[in-house]
Homo-oligomer: A and B are copies of this chain.
Amino acid sequence: MRLDEIGRQPCSVAKALSEIGDAWSILILREAFYGRRRFSDFAAFTGAQNTVVSARLKALVEAGILERTVYSEYPTRHHYRLTGKGRELAPVLFTLVEWGDKWIDADGGRPIDLTHTCGHHIDPVTVCGHCGERLDPSDITPSTGPGYPTHLPDPFSTADD
């Protein structure tokens, strides 16, 4: 299977990666969450080449994650803003930041502080929406859902013990 075919897998991780599974795309989203809207800012703050920024912005707009609006007519200039679909990627970004802060090169402390309106670092915690318990991977059992193709074998009948 080629990388561009990942989205065909019956799996929401794979489908999500087909839309945002590129490091530059995720850095562009990081900047969008930091309030950037202009092409020049996405290029400056991600460090990506203009051609890369252009391609990724186009793909994110096509995926409905960013929306492009005209903010100046002469000359024509555009803003790129998160849509509702894009904003709901926030937990993915926040949990990724937290993991990086904790596990990678953390000697000097976190490079970026994210402060919640409560006045404290966000310290994101992901809980079960039903019982409120902090999610631990050993408390979770995967199984095929209603959207799993019926003609494929059950991927969980052969897992290692």
Interface residues, chain A, CB within 8 Å of chain B? 1, 3, 5-7, 9-19, 21-24, 26-27, 30, 33-38, 41, 45-49, 64, 79, 82, 85, 87-118, 120-131, 133, 135-137, 139-149, 155-156, 158-160
Question: In the complex, which residue of chain B has the Cβ closest to the Cβ of A21?
Answer: B23
A-B contact pairs, 30 of them (CB 8 A): A1-B48, A3-B24, A10-B111, A10-B112, A13-B27, A13-B30, A13-B96, A14-B100, A15-B105, A17-B23, A21-B22, A22-B23, A33-B137, A33-B142, A37-B160, A41-B159, A88-B99, A91-B91, A105-B147, A111-B145, A112-B148, A113-B143, A115-B143, A116-B133, A118-B128, A118-B133, A120-B128, A122-B135, A122-B140, A124-B128
With both chains docked as a complex, state the minimum distance between the C-beta of A97 and any C-beta of chain B, in angstroms. 5
**In-complex Cβ contact of A36 among B124, B148, B160 (8 A):** B160
On chain B, the residues within 8 Å of A114 by CB distance are 140-142
Q: Please, how many angstroms separate the alpha-carbon atoms of A117 and B22 in the complex?
A: 33
Could you tell me the distance between the alpha carbons of A138 and B49 in the complex, rounded to whole angstroms?
A: 28
CB neighbours of A142 from chain B (8 A): 33-34, 112-115
